[in-house]
Amino acid sequence: MNFPYRAYRFLSTGLFLTLFPPFWFYTRWVGRHRESLKQRLGLYPDGLINGISGSPRIWMHAVSVGEVSVAAAIIESLTALLPDSAIILSTLTEHGQSYAKEKLGSKATCVYGPIDFIGAAHKALSTLKPDILVCLETEIWPNWLVEAQRMGIKTAIINGRISNRSIKRYLKIRLLMEEALRHVDAFSMIGEIDALRIALIGASPDRIEINGNAKYDLLLEQLDVSLIIKMERLYNLKGNEPVFVAGSTRNTEEKIILDLYRKIVQSFPKALLIIAPRHVERAKEIKDLVQAQGFACQYRTEFNLDNVMRTAPVVVLDTIGELQTTYSIASIVFCGGSLVPLGGQNILEAAVWGKPVLYGPSMEDFLDAKKLLDSTGGGIQVKDGQDLAEKTLYYLNHPQEAAHVGTLAQKAVMSNRGAAGKHANVICRLLQSD
């Protein structure tokens, strides 16, 4: 146990003892977070624990909605390989927890993960009694990992990815990361760059392998023509109007999109614009911006399949977990977080539907996805807002070329099929090892 980890353990304990009392009073005052707070301390209800049956017991940890989607794909493969296993899926966010319960149903026991305080980590591990602790993507929690291995529990990082921004932070605390990663039995990484980066911060090279991105498998499983028909009805589409979907947009990108939309409607007056902010709490801010620009606007939650119709030319998606199916009705897609220096978003969620996908120059967090689209010519990178406008209008005016690019994009996603099974095999091998 090196000095940086000792310091981290001391600091995390001090922060817990300092911050927990006021937060506990806050939960009593507002009446929220009570159940989640208990679970974040490692205190799980007896009824929940007694309902976990099966062996081996596999605990997978995800943060929020995106990681839950990855977990779902891997769990599908795990249940085929280990039909008698018990799956526990933990999240940190409330959105992630509700999405996990909706997505997985009885396939997994859904709980909140403990905070990375040694007491909470020990209590959670002692109560849930996993045979293996699986952390998804970039979830590296030193106290969890050290305590799990000390208790004889196997550990793994699965579908691992280390973004450009993450590696810079991790290198600043490399000695701490090195100690944490020393307690991980296997690293099943998405791509070569992720493997190089995890080794750079201390992972043992002989424990690292590259197995692709499990999220792509789940995307392929979600392809369903009936979903397209449902979404067309939901958005009251007649079949002749182009649909421009701007997904996972970040601050300042909406203004660029609205400037572009003003140009689109000059040639396509019936065009529909759907804006899906990366953070749903910004929905009101964006709706106000749209209306200030002179466009009528509706929230997605203002219409449904029953008797309330979509009538406005601009829709703000104010729901969680619906963007991926919304891409199914797009004529052109722009993936946000890329015209601003924020690392981009997952461009393959649209590509899987065979849609031409445009994205800006900042794709550092999704280089594997970009590389995959580049391999077939299915991605369209733009330099700035003006370039985005020019290329969008070009493909709207040349639908056959747009369809061809979309086909190449879908082909790229299909070439990655099978990653979830490879990651699941890593978990199985660890469980079978001595």
C-alpha span between 146 and 149 (Å, rounded): 5
pLDDT of residue 340: 95
| Greater pLDDT, 21 or 407 | 407
Q: Where are the beta strands (DSSP E) in 92-177?
A: 109-112, 132-136, 154-160
User: How many C-beta atoms surround the C-beta of residue 12 within 10 A?
Assistant: 20
CA distance 270 to 167: 45
User: Can you list the domains of the chain with their CATH numbers?
Assistant: 3-18+28-213+418-432 (3.40.50.11720), 223-414 (3.40.50.2000)
Q: Which residues fall within 8 angstroms of residue 27, CB to CB, at 6 or more apart?
A: 33, 34, 37
Q: Which two tokens stand for residue 397?
A: 């005016």
- pLDDT of 84 reads 94
- Which amino acid belongs to residue 143? N
> Cα(154)–Cα(283) distance, rounded to whole angstroms?
42
CA-closest candidate to residue 160, choices 380, 419, 352: 419
Mean pLDDT, residues 243-263 taken together: 97
Q: Is the pTM of this model over 0.85?
A: no
pLDDT at 122: 95
E strands present in 242-295: 243-249, 272-277
The three-state secondary structure class of 434 is coil
Do 74 and 158 meet the contact criterion of CB atoms below 8 Å apart?
A: yes
Confidence at residue 34, expressed as pLDDT on a 0 to 100 scale: 67
Burial class (CB in 10 A: 0-12, 13-18, 19+), 68: buried
**What confidence tens digit (pLDDT) does each residue in 41-72 have?**
999 999 999 999 999 999 999 988 878 989 99
Residue 320 above 90 pLDDT? Answer: no
130-174: pLDDT as tens digits: 999 999 988 899 999 999 999 999 999 999 999 888 898 999 999
Averaged pLDDT of the chain: 92
Alpha-helical segments (H) within 235-322: 253-267, 283-292
pLDDT digits (tens, 9 = 90+) for 173-196: 999 999 999 999 999 999 899 999
